[in-house]
Amino acid sequence: MKNIARIALAAFAAALILGPGRAFAADAPSEAAAIKAARLQQNVAIAAFKAAEVASFWTDDVTICRGLGIQVAGKAAYRKLFEEDHPSPTTLVYQRLPDTIELSPVWPLAFESGVWAGHLGTATGPVVISGRYSAQWVKRGERWLIRGEVYVALAGAGAGLQFKAAP
């Protein structure tokens, strides 16, 4: 009888833990599409120099490791970097293109990876710095938000070579 009770308790616990995750996993393609759409919308906001809209895709406690190793913590600090950008021939306009988006079957979390590029002047300007990135997304309510990003610069040319890597 004790074994039956243990098995029943284990099955109940597994249903509590795995049940919602399985339902979430069934929606994975639409959830991944929502994340990709959010990333592309953020790219549009970056190219339009709309810092408030760019920041609307982050959690308040977002953390970033920038392409050359400088770290930024918090939405306000990250947003400030975009507020300082204004349309000019020397401004870098960053764009991110997702390669993969993987959703957790258990938690409302997702992992995105892809390539990024810093374009000179506009989103279609020459690429002067580029590399790979990864991001952690978390679902809050009905929205996916970025909680963390890591960028690694792998190539640079022209004006992109003026930047120095963090020690």
Tell me how far apart the alpha carbons of residues 88 and 161 are, in angstroms, rounded to a whole number. Answer: 18
Q: What is the pLDDT of residues 143-165, one digit of tens each?
A: 999 999 999 999 999 888 888 88
- 124 located within any domain: yes
- 79 located within any domain: yes
- 75 located within any domain: yes
Print the domain residue range for 94. Answer: 28-162
Number of domains in the chain: 1
User: Per-residue confidence at 37, pLDDT binned at 50, 70, 90?
Assistant: very high
- 44 located within any domain: yes
Q: What is the pLDDT of residues 96-130, one digit of tens each?
A: 999 999 999 999 999 999 999 999 999 999 999 99
- 95 located within any domain: yes
- 2 located within any domain: no
Task: Please report which residue ranges of 56-151 form alpha helices under DSSP H.
Answer: 75-83
Cα atoms in the 13 Å half-sphere on the side-chain side of 113: 4
- 14 located within any domain: no
Cβ 130 vs Cβ 158: under 8 Å: no
Domain with 48 in it: what CATH number? 3.10.450.50
Q: Is the pLDDT of residue 22 over 50?
A: no
pTM of the shown model: 0.81
Q: Would you state the pLDDT for residue 54?
A: 96
Handedness of CA 102, 103, 105, 109 (dihedral sign): positive
